[in-house]
Each structure stands twice: as structure tokens, then as C-alpha cells.
Structure 1
Amino acid sequence: MESALGEAYKEHPIHLGHIVPLDFSSLPTLPDSHAWSPSNDDYSFPCNDASSSIPIIDLMDPNAMHLIGHACETWGAFQVKNHGIPFGVIERVEQEAKRLFSLPTQQKLKALRSPGGATGYGRARISQFFHKFMWHEGFTIIGSPSHDVKKIWPNDYAHFCDLMEKYEKEMKVLAERLTKMMLELLGIREEKRKWVGSKNTNGAVQLNFYPSCPEPKRAMGLAPHTDTSLFTILHQTQTTGLEIFKEGKGWVPVHPHPNALVVNTGDFFHIMSNARFRCALHRVTVNRTRKRYSVAYFYYPPMDYEVSPFDLNSAARFRPVTVKEYNGIKAKNFGQALSLISTSN
């Protein structure tokens, strides 16, 4: 059965040319299709100020909720440790991602995402909004990945599916825990929080691969964007690449911390908090000699849930919008989506 999130993607198909990744292993030089202009301020080099880094928060800390609130207000991102996800599960998911992306291109293409599809192998959906392609390939999972994975491993798909489903369940528990803390910080009444933990909430797992690149300073792993989610929980391998944009600082690298997960605030919490929580603009750079892998979990309210500002110490900055409607707005307008629901227009 197709999930509500998957159905939402069907209404906004993208061109097939924006789905098919290159065979990166066969490229000794950077092709023009993937060569970004280094002179563009939007893609300038990162801030190397050692004092600038997103907070690392221990969920066992009695003050964790308030530390998370401060991180959301100042960065829109933080790393969390003692999060309750068994390290063994994370490690096995990382190994399965490596196994998947190491397959020959033609085998991976058997699970190529359709233009209106939400799951499977392919380029990032945001590719259609940029004039150059990204040095990246991904595999998206919503619910059970068996439909897509059977095409790649017809006789050996069960282990991959079982592990990814376990990972998604573990991540959902953590996402619900973080959501309750953030909603409490915003002073949202209990009756307005009943959707948290319901079967209608949505989640997606995204496996990412950033191959080593012959000209990393001219390439882009993932272009600057904000996530269309409440927030995203990310496991990254020990190769630095993720960067958060901080006003007054520029692009700040998020250095991997052992056994910690990165959490970045998405569009929906930005709206709910009446812009009190920053919406983390982030990107991914690539490396000349090292491959990089990451696993992202995107957490969403139910599709019919009406998102509106709750933190109203000042006038509402956004009009109410359902999750499904906002997904549609962003699917067509991308970087302008928040401005299109702004009450100042």
C-alpha cells in the first residue's frame, strides 16, 4: 500500500533527466554538467573558525530540552548523543548502504525511481531546481523497501529490508521524543500534540553516497537547501562534508562526532515556531580521495495536518497550511516556498 507521503510525490512528477545519476566510477575528470562556478557567493568556501560548531547535546542531560531549544534558535541544528539508537544497528545500515552503492550502475538502475515516484534509486529530487548536477546518488525508502530492492537483489533482499525497517522504527521513536520536547518548548497544549506518535505521521529514510571527486572545489555534493520536514536526523560517516550556513559566519562544517547523530530543523518546525527555530540551510561538499556516506531520516506530521505558528509572542508570520499543500508549493517553487505562505506578502 502506497504511503500518504508517497502519494504526495505522485502529484508532482519531475523530468526523467533529473533522476538518472552518472556512472561516477567511469569519470577521470569533472564533466561540465557537474562543474559549479566557484565564484558564485552561494557556493563559497566554508568558515574555518574553530570556535564555530553546532552544539553537541547529551539527551541524558536534565537540561537537554532547553539546550535543544537554544540550538534550534541559534543554529537550526545540533548533534545528539545518548540518543538510544543501538550503535550496531547504525553500523549495519551504513554497511548495507556501502554494499548497495558499490553495485554496478546498471544493477542499481533496475530500481530507478520513476518521475512521479517517491522511492528507489536516483538523483536528489532537488536537482531540477539547479543549473548543474550534484556529485551524489541516493536511495529513498518509505515504508518497506522490498518493492525496489527485489529488482536489485531478487534472491537476497530480505536482510536489507529487515534492517532498514528496524532502522526506520528506531528513528521514529527518537523523532517522536524530540518532537515532544520541541513542542513543549513552544508551549503547545497537549490536545494540539495528539498527532505525535500516531500511525499517520510520516517518515522517510534516505541513503546517500558522495563518490570521491577529481575536482572537489568545483563540484557540489548536495546544493544548499532546507528540508521539507519537521526535522531531519542524520548519521554521517567520519568524512566531513555536511555544512550549515550561519549568518555572520558563512558555511560551517559539521564534524562527525563518534556515536552522535545530527539533527537539523526543517520547514515545518520553522513555521510552527513562527520563525523562532531557524530553518537550517545546509549543503554537502565532496572530497578528492575519500568517499562519503550518510543516512538521513526525515520526519513529517500527517499529510492532512494543518501547520500554523504557535509561538505567537508577535504576529503570525505564516498562514496556516496543510503538510500536503506545502509539499506541493515547495515541489513547484523550492527556495521561495516559505515566502509564498508569508503573511507579509
Structure 2
Amino acid sequence: MDKLPAVGLLTPLDLNTVEAVPESHVWPHLDESSQKFESDKTVSIPVVDFNDDNVLELIGKACEEWGMFQLINHGIPKTLTAETEEVARCLFGLPQSQKMKTLNVPGTANGYCMARLTKHHDKMMWHEGFTIIGSPVDDFKKLWPSDYQPFCDKVEEYQLKMKALADKLISLIFKYLGISDEEMVKKLSYIDPATGKPHLALRLNSFPPCPEPSKVMGLAAHTDTSLFTMLHQARREGLQILNEKEGWLPLAPRRDALIINIGDFLQIISNGRFHSVPHRVMIRETEKTTMSMAYFFHPPGHLYVAPYCKPLSETLQTPIYRGVNVKEYFIIKAKASGKGIAALTI
């Protein structure tokens, strides 16, 4: 079967109205184990307290051993998270005709969209999304013409808090890798000098109830094309990570934690010390729509990313990946059906 066309050329299906899963969304060969969500099958990834005196070592070790950890006492107010989640709930609850006014089109990133992973697969996912880069005001005016400002204010406040946290995290991660503040500024200035716009993205994800959940995929297996991603997981079950020995393992995230997972660019920069972990979202039987909010922290497109090998290290360090321009990496990953890291291995 031919691959689906680029996401921007596809019209999202109104998943809230279908009575049976259409063939376009039926994923063949889903193994039975992937649909099980028993508590004794879940895995608990490391929990890092941001107020811990040893937070630097805890984050570094979690990134090395898991590529993912749960961050508590992160400073994002619970009320703000809940209010932003309510904005997402209101957004996805709008009529399909209203959401389609903000449909993401080729060459742009903002707006209502299907999972970007769709272009790598023959089937579509049981998912609808909304991407926000910078201010959401232009899109929100189309969604709520007369009262868009309160929605904008809440999302922008959430973005500011998440950006401040991301700044702190990347500083700690680079310190653990032995990269100085001067090198960090030089290597990873996330403000594009050409546009002055930040390269940070908030993606709202919705997983509507499904009449036949065993046939569908919420989000297909993938790694994130970011430095790291900060995820608020409103749903307790469904997120799974790939373990080399045991296969797909469901996670049981803490309600008070943000899930931090390493992206491809940090795997490259760390020269393989950190791993960008494959993960996916399965759909379980539920009568309610479940959601998540993912905040992507990634370098600008003009940046050249390469392994950092300490020049004064006691042991010889050899790069295991070739360096790559950020824009080039997106192209490489797309051509490799989402498996970009492998294409850079020396």
C-alpha cells in the first residue's frame, strides 16, 4: 500500500461521530499484549524531585539509564495545568467545522492537525492534535471570535512557565555532560536570529472514545525530534515505552509529575550517552476523551548539531554520529520513515 500523503494535505476525520472504526484507521497485527493495561504489567520510570540537592546527578543518571524520567516539584502550578487542560478540552469539543478553520496547511506548523507521524505510516491514528508555536491569538480568533482572549492568556501563561522550566532543565543537562554555559549559549541559542521567534512548541493531543479500541493506535511508535519533551499526561494509561529485552511496557505516570523524555538531538549531542526512547500511545476502552499536553524544546533549524566529545577527557572519545544541520535532520528522518538516528551512525 502507498504511504499516505503529507499530513497537511489530509483532512482529519471527526472521530467523535464515527460508530465503527473505518478501514483507514484499522491497524493490522496489533499483538494482544499491546492492549493490556493491568497494573502488574506497568513500569515505573525514575522519579526526580526538582528540589533534591542531588538533582543534577539524578537527572543525568535517569537520562543515561532510561532516556526518560518523571519530574515532581517542577514549579508548574496545578491550577494552571488544569486550566490549560480545560482550554484544550473546550478546543477539541468544538464542532469539526469550527476546528477546520484552523487546519494546519503545508509549510506551516500551527493549528489543528493530525499526528505528524501519519506521513510515515499506511494507517491513520485515533488522535487529533493542535500545535501552538508562539502566540495562539490568530488561530484562537477563528475558534472563539468573540471571547478568544481568556483562552489565549491561559495558554501563553502556561507556555511561559514551561519555557522557564525548560531553560533550567537544559542548563542542568548540559552541565552533567560537561558543556559550559558559554558553549551552551553558542551551541543552542533557541532564538532564530533571522526571525526572533523561539523554537518551542506546545502540542495539545486528544484521544476520543473509540468503538473498537483494540483495532486502533493512538500514536504510533516514534522518537521525538527535539532536545527533550515535557509531557503532561492527563490519561493514566496508554503511554508505552520500548524496552530492548521485554518489548513494549505500559507506563503508570504520577499525576503530580511531568514526564521528561530525551529527544533525538540530545542523543546526538551526548554521543549516545542519552537515548531517545521509542514510545507510543495505545487506546483503551473508555467513554471519555483523554488528553495530553506535550511541550517540545528543540534547536532552531539553522543550527548544526554534533556529538560533544570532551577535548580534555582522560579517555579518548570518538563521535559515533556525524554532525547534522537541524533542518537537514528533519528531512533525513522523514526519508528514513522516522528512524533518523540510525542514518547518522558512523
**TM-score normalised to the size of structure 1?**
0.89
- Structure 2 vs 1, CA of residues 176 and 42 (structure 1 numbering), >3 Å: closer, same or farther? farther
Aligned to 1:151, the other structure's residue is in SS state helix
Residue 223 (str. 1) matches residue 214 (str. 2):
no
Q: CA deviation at 1:318?
A: 1.0
The farther-off stretch of 51-60 and 35-44 is 35-44
Query: Which whole-Å deviations, capped at 9, do the CAs of 1:261-303 have from their partners, x for residues lacking one?
Result: 0111000000011111011111011122232100000001233
Aligned to 2:339, the other structure's residue is in SS state helix
Q: Counterpart amino acid of 1:108?
A: K
Residue matched to 2:207: 210
Structure 2 CA distance, aligned partners of 1:34 and 1:50?
26
Residue 14 (str. 1) matches residue 6 (str. 2):
yes
Q: Counterpart amino acid of 1:221?
A: G
Residue 325 (str. 1) matches residue 328 (str. 2):
yes
2:302 to 282, 292, 304: 304
Structure 2 CA distance, aligned partners of 1:78 and 1:254?
11
- Structure 2 vs 1, CA of residues 314 and 46 (structure 1 numbering), >3 Å: closer, same or farther? farther
1:291 to 281, 289, 292: 289
Q: CA deviation at 1:46?
A: 7.0
- Structure 2 vs 1, CA of residues 117 and 21 (structure 1 numbering), >3 Å: closer, same or farther? same
- Structure 2 vs 1, CA of residues 283 and 15 (structure 1 numbering), >3 Å: closer, same or farther? closer
Query: Which whole-Å deviations, capped at 9, do the CAs of 1:18-56 have from their partners, x for residues lacking one?
Result: 3x2211122111111111113569968679655732111
The farther-off stretch of 99-108 and 187-196 is 187-196
Residue matched to 2:160: 169
Residue matched to 1:100: 91
Residue 25 (str. 1) matches residue 16 (str. 2):
yes
Aligned to 2:185, the other structure's residue is in SS state coil
- Structure 2 vs 1, CA of residues 225 and 45 (structure 1 numbering), >3 Å: closer, same or farther? farther
Question: Does the CA-based 8 Å contact 2:71-2:257 persist in structure 1?
Answer: yes
Say how many residue pairs are matched.
Answer: 330
Residue 52 (str. 1) matches residue 43 (str. 2):
yes
Residue 258 (str. 1) matches residue 255 (str. 2):
yes
Aligned to 1:140, the other structure's residue is in SS state strand
Q: Counterpart amino acid of 1:300?
A: H
Structure 1 CA distance, aligned partners of 2:168 and 2:230?
12
**TM-score normalised to the size of structure 2?**
0.89
Residue matched to 1:5: none
Q: Counterpart amino acid of 2:113?
A: G
Residue matched to 2:319: 316
Query: Which whole-Å deviations, capped at 9, do the CAs of 1:66-100 have from their partners, x for residues lacking one?
Result: 11112111211111000011111111000010000
Q: CA deviation at 1:239?
A: 3.2
Residue 151 (str. 1) matches residue 149 (str. 2):
no
Question: Does the CA-based 8 Å contact 2:35-2:284 persist in structure 1?
Answer: no
Aligned to 1:280, the other structure's residue is in SS state coil
5+ residue gaps, structure 1 = 1-12
- Structure 2 vs 1, CA of residues 92 and 267 (structure 1 numbering), >3 Å: closer, same or farther? same
Aligned to 1:325, the other structure's residue is in SS state helix
Question: Does the CA-based 8 Å contact 1:176-1:197 persist in structure 2?
Answer: no
**Aligned alpha-carbon RMSD (Å):** 2.2
Query: Which whole-Å deviations, capped at 9, do the CAs of 1:124-170 have from their partners, x for residues lacking one?
Result: 11101101100000000000111112111111111111111111111
Residue matched to 1:10: none
Q: Counterpart amino acid of 1:319?
A: R
- Structure 2 vs 1, CA of residues 157 and 45 (structure 1 numbering), >3 Å: closer, same or farther? same
Task: Give 1:241-256 correspondences, 5 Å limit.
Answer: 241-256=238-253
The farther-off stretch of 26-35 and 244-253 is 244-253
Structure 1 CA distance, aligned partners of 2:61 and 2:38?
21
Question: Does the CA-based 8 Å contact 1:187-1:311 persist in structure 2?
Answer: no
Residue matched to 2:182: 191
Aligned to 2:241, the other structure's residue is in SS state strand
The farther-off stretch of 215-224 and 36-45 is 36-45
Q: Counterpart amino acid of 1:14?
A: A
Query: Which whole-Å deviations, capped at 9, do the CAs of 1:151-198 have from their partners, x for residues lacking one?
Result: 111111111111111111111111111111111111113321115576
Residue matched to 1:83: 74
Q: Counterpart amino acid of 2:6?
A: I
Q: CA deviation at 1:15?
A: 5.3
Q: Counterpart amino acid of 1:292?
A: T
Q: Counterpart amino acid of 2:345?
A: S
5+ residue gaps, structure 2 = 193-197, 311-315
Structure 1 CA distance, aligned partners of 2:301 and 2:98?
33
- Structure 2 vs 1, CA of residues 107 and 51 (structure 1 numbering), >3 Å: closer, same or farther? closer
Structure 1 CA distance, aligned partners of 2:272 and 2:39?
27
Structure 2 CA distance, aligned partners of 1:162 and 1:334?
37
